[in-house]
Amino acid sequence: MADAHAHAPGLAHHFESYEQQKESAFLGMWIFLAQEIMFFSGLFTCYLVYRVLYPHAFLVGSRELDWRIGAANTVVLLLSSFTMVVAVLGAKQGRRKMIVLGLLGTLLFGGIFLGVKVFEYGSKWEHHLVPGPYFEWHGDPSVGREVELFFSLYFGMTGMHALHMVIGMGIMLVMLPLAWRGKWTPQNHNFVEGFGLYWHFVDIVWIFLFPFLYLIGLSGGSSH
């Protein structure tokens, strides 16, 4: 196969130019994120419907969560977005160590976030707040079922979010050695930049989850 651009490193055979390859990669990434938005919007719609149906139970359920831990984790996640930007910048400037350090930082903050999450899940388990046969409610018995539904959503939403982070961290573990070996150059680092978009997207999902789950309980007074 004597392609006209057989010498161009990192240019796939079916593209005519780096420009075309780059535009395709980003359009593909944005379409993928649109798909992700639709995926999460199912959960958010579910949340919306049940919160409108059971506003009081959602406040009661939310007060079982510790907003300080949620806030701390929000900061951790924002820091991981910052280190992700560092990695992307490093790729743009062709600075291999900067990519590696950025990815390592992102992995670190992502790991802290997930560690805190595991701790939170564990304490919910101890307090019998995990929905299912193990669930026990010791508060106002009239809202027990509905509080359980709040926790179904809490675990469903944060679980899906955490799953996206785990997948992202798995991809970063693959990226690390590639970055170290200098796979990405200023002309061709679409993968790093596209992955950055994904990571920021996952962060933004959390930016919505945090107030919807942790902060609504802070509003004082009776919610009837």
Nearer to other proteins, 111 or 144 (CB): 144
DSSP assignment string, 200-213: HHHHHHHHHHHIII
| Alpha carbons 195 and 193: distance in angstroms, whole number | 5
205 touches 40 (CB < 8 A): yes
| Alpha carbons 96 and 119: distance in angstroms, whole number | 35
Binding string, residues 139-178; x marks residues near other proteins by CB under 8 A:
------xx-xx--xx-xx---x------------------
Residue 46 — left, alpha, or beta (φ > 0 → left; ψ -120 to 50 → alpha)?
Answer: alpha
35 binds other proteins (CB under 8 A): yes
Nearer to other proteins, 36 or 120 (CB): 36
Nearer to other proteins, 16 or 136 (CB): 16
38 binds other proteins (CB under 8 A): yes
| Alpha carbons 190 and 28: distance in angstroms, whole number | 11
100 binds other proteins (CB under 8 A): no
55 binds other proteins (CB under 8 A): no
Binding string, residues 108-137; x marks residues near other proteins by CB under 8 A:
-----------------------xxx----
Helix axes 190-210, 144-180, angle to 10 degrees: 160
Amino acid 193 reads E
- Which residue ranges make up the site for other proteins (CB under 8 A)? 1, 12-14, 16, 20, 23-24, 27-28, 31-32, 34-36, 38-43, 45-46, 49-50, 53, 131-133, 145-146, 148-149, 152-153, 155-156, 160
